[in-house]
Amino acid sequence: MQKLRFPPPISPQQKISVIAPSGALREWERFEQGVKIWRDRGYHLAIPDDLSQPWGYLAGSDQQRCDQFIAAWNDPDLVAIACARGGYGSMRLLEKLDWNLLSDRPKWLIGFSDITALLWGLAKHKGISGLHAPVLTTLGNEPARSQQQLFDLLESKVDSITLSGQGWENGKATGILLPANLTLATNMIGTSICPDLENVILAIEDVSEAPYRVDRMLTHWRWSGLLSKLKGIAIGRFSQADVSTPSFIMEEVWRDRLTDLGIPIVMNLPFGHDGENAPLPVGSFAEIDAQQGSLCYFL
């Protein structure tokens, strides 16, 4: 994976843009909670009047959402872009988006889940890092620790973050951190958005995916040949799986599909849906240690 350019630190009193590039915004109370957290820290949030104009399950037509993203990115007064929510829809923008229309000036794009497509697109086509981190509708449910990590990272108050989970006995490795929603990442295999995965530590999460569907996606990754390029795999939260399936079944899937790769794997890390969602900067240098059960990334 190519070396990425990181946006400069941001600070209170600066202006942040809010966009809705994916699903229609219906969780308005949760959205306002997220907005309040940013404003309470002194940031000015620019929220467009047409933030979400429901277009079926989307927050607007593809062209409307694409124009919203381009306008926010190119506005020199806006130092970062906070996504309102995930859902589905950002992959559709990539069909329309002319990356040449985007300024080469780095700024933080903040979001996770469906926002994976835009984060990977920025990395691949602009060589710019983004932040896999809570969207506005989930920020209010974050514990104090991950909220603090988010702002510490954006404001350059820390130079590293270490997450703890459960490791498998395959030693440790260093590489370039690439976070993603597994479903989105799987569907970008073979497209112009998929980055080079050489020397990458892949960090994955998802929601509402049954073990057999996770198995199917991992099998597709195996057939693609991409898993053999990875230095390690960091597994976050896979929440809201089929309640009729015992939780240990998902772990059996991970072990069955990944153990033979011979690379460090750490699971149960605190990022993803429905719980603590630590910020993960795309393209940062990282170390994964299966013996310690840790993922450490440097800023």
Place of tokens 């988006």: 97
Catalytic-labelled residue, pool 273, 276, 284, 294? 273
Distance between first and last Cα of the chain? 17
Told to judge if 113 belongs to the known catalytic residues of this protein, a careful annotator would answer: yes
- Could you tell me the two tokens for 172? 């440790």
- Could you tell me the two tokens for 236? 């976050």
Catalytic-labelled residue, pool 129, 146, 205, 209? 205
Told to judge if 205 belongs to the known catalytic residues of this protein, a careful annotator would answer: yes
d(CA 102, CA 232): 32
Told to judge if 146 belongs to the known catalytic residues of this protein, a careful annotator would answer: no
CB-CB contact of 139 with 27 (8 Å): no
Per-residue H/E/C for 120-175: HHHHHHHCECCEECCCHHHHCCCCHHHHHHHHHHHCCCCCEEEEECEECCCCEEEE
Catalytic-labelled residue, pool 22, 52, 113, 294? 113
For β-strands 44-46 and 15-19, DSSP reports them as parallel
Range 242-278 burial, b when 16+ CB lie within 10 A, else e = eeeeeeeebbebbeebbeeeebbbbbebbbbbeebbb
| Residues identified as active-site | 113, 205, 273
